[in-house]
Amino acid sequence: MWGMSDTPPESPDFDAMTRDIAEVPAVEVIVTVAVNLMSAAAVKLGLSEEGEKYKDLDEARKLITGLAGLLDASATEISSFHAAPLRDGLKSLQLAFREASLVPDEPGQGPGEKYTGPVYG
C-alpha cells in the first residue's frame, strides 16, 4: 500500500510548526508576506530573468492589489522602518504595471490605487 516498505509516509509535525510560527513576531510575518507578494508580482510583470515567459498582467494586478491592501491594513501595526521600503516597492510595481499595460488604467484605477491613491511617475 505504501510501496516497498511498510513505513507510512512522513506526516508533517504540526506541533513543531506551530511552535516555530509562535516564535515569529507579527511584524516579521507581515513583512515576509509583503515581500512574497512583491516578488510574485514582479515575476508576473515580466521583471524576472525569464521575462516574458511568466508575464501575466491579470495575475500581477491581483498580487499588487493584495499587497496594497495588506500594507494599507497593517500601516498602523508595522513601523515606518518596515513600511517605507515596502511602500516604495509597491509604487515601483504599480509604475511597472502601468508601463507594461498596452492600455494603461486611468489614474486612480490601477492595481492597488484604491488603497494608495493615484500613482504617477
Residues 6+ apart with CB under 8 A from 78: 27, 30, 31
The model's pLDDT over 16-51, given as tens digits with 9 standing for 90+, comes to: 878 788 899 999 999 999 999 999 999 999 999 988
pTM of the model: 0.84
- Does residue 4 have a pLDDT over 90? no
Distances (CA, A) of 3 to 8, 12, 15, 36: 9, 19, 27, 36
Average pLDDT over residues 74-86: 93
Residues 68, 113: Cα–Cα separation, whole Å? 8
